[in-house]
Structures are given as structure tokens and as C-alpha cells.
Amino acid sequence: MGETMNHHQSSTGAVLKFSFSINLLLYTMVVLLTIVSTGTPPEQVVHVILKLDEENIPFRKTNNMFLSTALDSVLIAHGFQNFNMSDPKLVKLMKPLAPGYLRIGGNMADRLWFDPSGKFVSKTQQVIESDGGACANEEIDCDVYDRPNFTMTAKEWTQLNSLAKKAGLTILFDINCLIRFPNGSWNSKNAEELIKFSADRNFSIIWQLGNEPNAFRHVFDYEVNATQLAKDFAKLRSILNRYPIYRKSELVGPDTTRPIIKRNASMAYLHEFLLHGKNVINAVTWHQYYFNGRNASISQFLDPEVFNLLQTQIGYIKDIVKSAGATSKPIWLGETSSAYGGGAPGLSNSFVATFMWLDKLGIAARNGLDVVVRQTLFGSNYSLLDENLQPLPDWWVSVIYKRIVDSRVIPCYPTSSTTVRIYCHCTKKRIFSFYSPFVVVFGLNVKKSPMQIKIQGYQGYVWEYSLTSKGSLVSKDILLNGEKLSLANDGTLPDLDPVLVNAHPYLQMRPYSLTFWIIPLHTSSCPI
């Protein structure tokens, strides 16, 4: 196979140099001539120009922890029901997501008390959404009694850290922001107990303070203004600096909700916080969901206009960061999934949600976001694993993405298509048996008919990973190149092998599919 690949690489080098330098008019003529000569309807052809040049190496570069995941604090509040932290299978399912952060946070983070003695254990069996739901995202006042205080014991905290370490993940812990003195300032005593306990045991952690503070009034009937929160972050930074292990530990925030022009309270809050707190944080974090899971429809999961909301919202966040003079700070999606309110039942945990998830990863990386924290690994309707620790479709997509896609983003320009989304990166430096990065073109087709993809200037062979559903778009099964993906009984992954296909005259993207193509090109945009 390697000999075939080398032959095609050498034979296309000259063509690539020519094709990347053509102007728009000539490119349009090439497209039209191709359509005429092949008889393929223009709406079924997407041409992709890869821009590989030495002046832009790379176009963007994300954090190597870019795709991260989370365990919601509600899992702790419920006493880790159906979640055995010492289960070897769980570790096997988390390892393929490394390196990455394991965020321990969410709506109930601001109800969590650390109990080092284990003498004051308090849990709840109330049904609690794993995110702020409509309360936070639609600014609806909710009943504060639906979210009671609870404790996390020293034993549970130690088990969480042990789990993360075994899986190769770094914990991002969200400290309770709502333990307050009568004057409104943050009472850090319980946080200091947690930090000291952690430092004494050399736990590797990065930190947050509070979850969606702009929505506290709606969720908890309590307000912490952004200026005060910035002071609280500075206080937390000074506490962390007392411990050598956490002196260089990152502190990120403020984890505001998605920006919405019609209701701009979250945008104003973020701006004010950054004006006063940008010097004490290492990254700007915000949360993003597309719609309410309680009334979501399958059409929303297939609608490119819905996908485009993220692009618009990233633009708003960047404008706020710039106006606050915080452009030196990386931007993270600190919590994100498809639908708020715990996800859409039967949709957020099915194959149809994979389109939105892969598109989010593509848009976020292309726009220079450093980290995307997926809500959540376990629990709720948007989890990566079900209640029996069986992988759901988004888990498989995440694992394949982690295995193939590197942090370096390559500019690529697909011709206009409303139903096909295309993104381009370098591959990981070691792919298959080669120790050399190639180019990966990946994307999705949310159309019920196949689409033809033409990589301009390349006519050789590529490795293909084609992901489709098993019969129904709401199936919880996923197929790789026509074969159902499943774990061995002990949780061991299958081989996840691609197939070799010819890119000439076209690559085919199946109806309602996600595809990764590895193109064996050596380029200065993807240096070793």
C-alpha cells in the first residue's frame, strides 16, 4: 500500500503547485468543464481547494487538549448512581479521549460542598438537569429549591482524581462560587480545604470558579455582579499561588451562557468581567447549546442554518474579548452539546446528533478556539456513554477524531453547498505505520442523496473512514465503512481500519454520512 501511495504523491506534486495558484475565473471554468465532461449535476459536486503554502504554517493551531469531555456535578449530587469509578471498562472507554480535560462542573457546581471528613454526607435524589436549561439559557426564573446543596467526600474526590489519572485526562474543577459572606464577597474557606487536600496528594488540576454566573438570578435567585466575580477570581488565584503544585495551574472563566443579541445580558456580563478580571485568568470560557432539548425536532439536527449559529456566536465572543482588551487570552468552549436541558431525548444520543458534533469541532478549530469541552461523558440525553457504559455514536466520532485529526488547521475552500460541510487539518504525526503527518479532509453530508467531492489537484488514492447509521437516523448504532462498530466484552476497541479508495474522478460522500479522508501529501503546512 505504501508503494502505491508514494507513486501517487510523486505524480501529483506538479499538479498541486499549479492548481493552488489558479485564479477564481480559471477555477470556475475547471468546475464547469468537469461537470460537462462527467455529466454530474452541479448541485451534487463539491470542489475543495486545499491551500498549502509556506507563508501560513499552520492557518490555526488548537490546544492539544482541544476535544475534552465532562462529568456533570449532578452525578456527584446523586451519589454516582450507575457510575463505578473503579470499573476497568470505564477507564478503557475514557483513554481514547486522552489527552484532554475532564471537567467536573455544571449547574450544580455552585451547590457542592467539599467534606474532607466524610461525616456530613448529603446527597439528593431530585431530578436535576445537567445544565442550566431554560432557566439559564432563556433567562426564566426557576425554583431555587430544585437545586439543593450537597457534599462531595474526600473519598469521592480521590476516586475522581484516580480515574482521570488512569485515563490520561486532567481534571478541570469548577469550584462553588455561591458560598458567600453577608457583604456579598466570596467565602473561600471550603475551597481552601479542597485545594489543600488536593495539593497534599499531588492531584493535577486546573480550576474554574462558578458556572454561568450571569444566570445566577434565574437559577439560584442570587446575584453576583461581574466586577465582584473578578475580585473573587483574583482571590482564588492568590490561594492557588500559595501551593507550589498550583502556582502555574490554569484558572479559566467566567463560563457565561451563549451570547444572544435579543437578550444580551450574558454578553454584558462577560465584557464587564474581562475588563476587571482578564489579568487573573488563563483562558476565556463560555457555554454553547443550539436549542432547547424539550421541544427539539430531528430537522434541527440536520439544518445547516442551525449549525451556523455557532459561527455567529463565536464572532460575538471574539468582539467582546477584543473590546475588553483580552485578545491575548485563548477562548474555550467550556461546556457544550446539542440541546440544553440535558439534551433532546432520543435525538441527542443518537446518530443524527453526530452531524452537529463534528461540525462544531470543525467550526471551533477553524475559528481558533483552543478547547471544546463536551457535555457530558455520562448521564443525561447528550452523553457519550449510555447507562450501561455502551458507547453512543458521538463517542465513536470523538474517538476517530482524536485518533486522526491534529491540532493544526489547514485552510480549505469548498464550493458552495448548503448540505455538505468540509474541514481540513493535518493528521496526527504518527498515522498508521508512518511517522509523518499527512492531510485529512473531513466533513458531513446532511442530504438524502450522495455527494461527489473533488479535491482539486489530487487524483491518487486516499484512506477513507465513512460513518453512517444503521437503518435509522435515530439509531444508537453507527457503521464504519458499512460495518457496525462495537466493543469487545471487556471494553476493547475494534481496529477502526479505513478503506483505500481512488480520489479520481471523485470521492463519494454517502447520504447522511460523516467522512474522513486521509490524503498522503507531504506539505510544509504539516511539518514533522
Task: Give the residue ranges of DSSP H helices in 241-340.
Answer: 265-277, 304-323
CA distance 300 to 135: 21
Candidates 91, 246, 73; CA nearest to 173 is: 73
Q: Is 193 a catalytic residue?
A: no
Catalytic-role residue among 129, 139, 272, 335: 335
φ and ψ at residue 343, rounded to 5 degrees: 95, 170
Copy the grid coordinates of residue 226.
Answer: 461581574
Residue that the C-alpha cell 425554583 belongs to: 143
DSSP string, 448-492: SS-EEEEETT--SEEEEEEEEESSSTT-S-EEETTEE----TTS-
Bridge-based pairing of strands 45-50 and 412-414 is antiparallel
Task: Give the residue ranges of DSSP H helices in 368-489.
Answer: 393-404
- Which sign, positive or negative, has the C-alpha torsion 207, 212, 214, 215? negative
Whether residue 505 has a cis bond before it, omega within 30° of 0: yes
Q: Is 483 a catalytic residue?
A: no
What distances in angstroms separate CA 383 from CA 12, 336, 348, 350, 375, one per listed residue? 43, 11, 8, 10, 7
DSSP string, 41-94: -GGGEEEEEE---TTSS-SEE--TT-EEEEEEHHHHHTT-TT--TT-HHHHHHH
Asked if residues 197 and 156 have their Cβ atoms less than 8 Å apart, the reply is no
Catalytic-role residue among 212, 250, 272, 464: 212
Question: Known catalytic residues?
Answer: 212, 335
